Amino acid sequence: MNLVVQSLNAENTHFLGVKLGKLLQGGDVICLMGDLGAGKTALAKGIGSALAIQEPMTSPTFTFQNEYAGVAHSQPIRLIHMDLYRLRYPEEVEIIGVEDAFQEDAICLIEWPEIAADILPKDCLEIRIEGSGEEPRNISFRSNTDDWERRLKEFEEVS
Ligand SMILES: Nc1ncnc2c1ncn2[C@@H]1O[C@H](COP(=O)(O)OP(=O)(O)OP(=O)(O)O)[C@@H](O)[C@H]1O
Ligand SMILES: [Mg+2]
């Protein structure tokens, strides 16, 4: 399934993150793609807000990954937010332990996931944001599983 949604401004992107965040559960891996400044972190913050993350979410550009304690469907959940932009070699993906984040009690958001392509779960949700600056964004959601298809339909239906 490939769902494309337009976002007119940063608040709109944040809100799409909130809407998606409500549908997430432990074990989910979400790849956030798009150029520098596309809005990946803006969307991630919306997801964090739906998962009741209390602390301010900051971009993990230098730390590679930040972990937050949240709640999904009344259950405690870990939100792991990664940014692999600064990695240069696939070996580094193993060194920083990207795969360790794929756990049933964690929701994992990965900005710049391309370098980790070989180890990403086949059932991850791919989100690509196109557009930059103050122009509107096209945000596409792509998945190969029935489970994501069901959840994306629900996402589409919630106004
Ligand atoms: N429709 C929009 N959606 C998202 N962000 C927007 C939109 N319009 C303008 N912006 C602005 O674009 C910027 C997006 O920044 P953000 O940090 O989310 O990008 P990013 O994709 O995470 O970049 P990076 O690859 O550097 O991590 C913000 O300054 C935001 O205010
Ligand atoms: Mg970012």
Of the residues 82, 127, 137, 140, which should be mutated to test ligand 1's pocket, given the most ligand atoms within 8 Å of the CB? 137
- In this structure, which residue's CA is closest to atom 18 in ligand 1? 39
Q: Which residues contact 60 (CB under 8 A, 6 or more apart)?
A: 66, 81, 82, 83, 111
Residue 154 Cα to ligand 2 midpoint, Å, equals 26
Q: What pLDDT, on a 0 to 100 scale, did the predictor assign at position 159?
A: 66
- In the chain, what are the domains? 2-154 (3.40.50.300)
**Ligand 1 pocket: which of 6, 7, 13 to mutate (most atoms within 8 A of CB):** 13
For 82-138, write each residue's pLDDT tens digit. 999 999 999 999 999 999 999 999 999 999 999 999 999 999 999 999 999 999 999
Read off the DSSP letter of residue 124.
Answer: P
pLDDT tens-digit readout, 120-136? 999 999 999 999 999 99
| SS3 state at 5 | strand
Q: Give me 42's structure tokens.
A: 């803006």
